[in-house]
Amino acid sequence: MHRRTALSVSAALLVAAPLLSACSGETRPGTAAVVGGERITTSALQARVNDVREAQGRSDNAAQLVANSGRLERVKLSKMIQLRVLERAAEDAGITVSPKEIEDVRKGQLEQSGGERQLEELLLAQRVPLAPGQLDEEIRFQLLFAKLSERFGEEKVLEPLAAAARKLDIEVNPRYGSWDVQQITVGDGKTPWITQRTRTEQAPAGA
């Protein structure tokens, strides 16, 4: 529906969140990241990773899917944080996505793929692989970005996203990498968040 533009966000260095670090300066156990003062726990992150690994294990291409999805914890954590950035930007702009919109896109993807089994294989083959139970959240991600792009324009959508990221004071547990304020991602900053054209009625790119 809209071009997914590589994000390059100029933002001030984020202040370290106190929830992430103990007084000794060591990382607080059980915290993968802090976003907007709220913890993303390591257990919640691991549950998402496990769901993907279990789905990959059901595939005839299990070995290849696993081999192609290294650093799954890092990319899943990136996606969890990125969704919160989108949600904050959408909230600030008065933009919402309804359950009916998500349902309609999901039905379209199911019909396009030819069935649940085929759709599951497509989801697992994404750059950020998805377990079937993670599809609705991915559709929400896509719809929020599409609506923000429509509201602000594709060339200016970076502005509300940058503002939202600054407000959220994002801090990431070094175990998973570092927070890249320019690309809005966890890692070395070499892989942009949004890099290609997509249509919300297609199987998600999982960017």
pLDDT tens for each residue of 9-22: 322 222 223 344 44
Q: Report yes or no on 74 lying in a domain.
A: yes
Q: What is the pLDDT at residue 180?
A: 77
Q: What is the pLDDT of residue 15?
A: 28
From CA 61, how far away is CA 125, in angstroms rounded? 10
Q: Is residue 206 part of a domain?
A: no
Q: Which amino acid is at 8?
A: S
Dump pLDDT digits (tens) for 53-108: 999 999 999 999 999 898 899 999 999 999 999 999 999 999 999 999 999 999 99
Domain membership flag for residue 55? yes
Q: What is the pLDDT of residue 188?
A: 62
Give me the pLDDT at residue 107, please. Answer: 96
CA distances from 134 to 70, 106, 154 (A): 18, 11, 26
Give me the number of domains the chain comprises: 1
Comparing C-alpha atoms, which of 11, 29, 10, 12 is closest to residue 21? 29
54 Cβ contact list (under 8 Å, min separation 6): 131
The answer as to whether 76 is a domain residue is yes
Residue 154 has pLDDT above 60, yes or no: yes
Identify the domain containing residue 175 by its residue range.
2-198
205 found inside a domain: no
- Both structure tokens of 207: 């960017």
pLDDT in tens, 125-145: 988 899 999 999 999 999 999
Is 32 a domain residue? yes
Query: What pLDDT is attached to residue 190?
Result: 45
150 vs 187 pLDDT, higher one: 150
More confidently predicted of 82 and 189: 82
Instruction: Choose among 30, 12, 9: nearest CA to 21.
Output: 30
Does position 181 have pLDDT exceeding 90, yes or no? no
Check if the beta carbon of residue 165 is closer than 8 Å to that of residue 182: no
Q: Which pLDDT belongs to residue 78?
A: 92
Flag whether 96 is in a domain: yes
Q: How far is it, in rounded angstroms, from Cα 38 to Cα 41?
A: 9
> Residue 150 above 70 pLDDT?
yes
Q: Which pLDDT does position 28 carry in this prediction?
A: 62
User: pTM for the whole thing?
Assistant: 0.76
Whether 44 is covered by a domain: the verdict is yes
For position 122, what pLDDT does the model report? 94
What does the pLDDT look like over 30-45, one tens digit per residue? 999 999 999 999 999 9
